[in-house]
Amino acid sequence: MQDDRQASAAERTEALVRDRLGARLGAELAHALDRGEKFHDVGIDSLDIVVVLAELERDFEVERIADGELWDIADSIDALVHYLDAHGHAPAETP
């Protein structure tokens, strides 16, 4: 049962990450990215990631990620999901 809850939380986090990316870069790109695909490999630059990350930091109530750590923590959807789930508080679900 706990594995199901963890998977469900990770799925919700991934959906929100993709939504935030989609608002900045276009939904088609955000939903076409493989979870582990590196953002810089597909041409997503640091400015785009900083903007998306600022929204996610607010959503999950995590401390601001230092610019020097940006590509270590936020280099892919998978990395963002792991970081946000480990350090943040998932936003309340809306009905």
pLDDT in tens, 31-70: 999 999 999 999 999 899 999 999 999 999 999 888 888 8
**Nearest Cα residue to 70 out of 86, 88, 54:** 54
Mean pLDDT of 3-10: 70
* pLDDT at res. 1: 52
* pLDDT at res. 95: 44
pLDDT tens, position by position, 75-87? 999 999 999 999 9
Residues 2-87, CATH architecture: Orthogonal Bundle (1.10)
pTM for this structure? 0.85
**Nearest Cα residue to 21 out of 80, 73, 69:** 80
Cβ atoms 9, 84 nearer than 8 A: no
Which residue type, as a one-letter code, is found at position 21?
L
What are the boundaries of each domain within the chain? 2-87
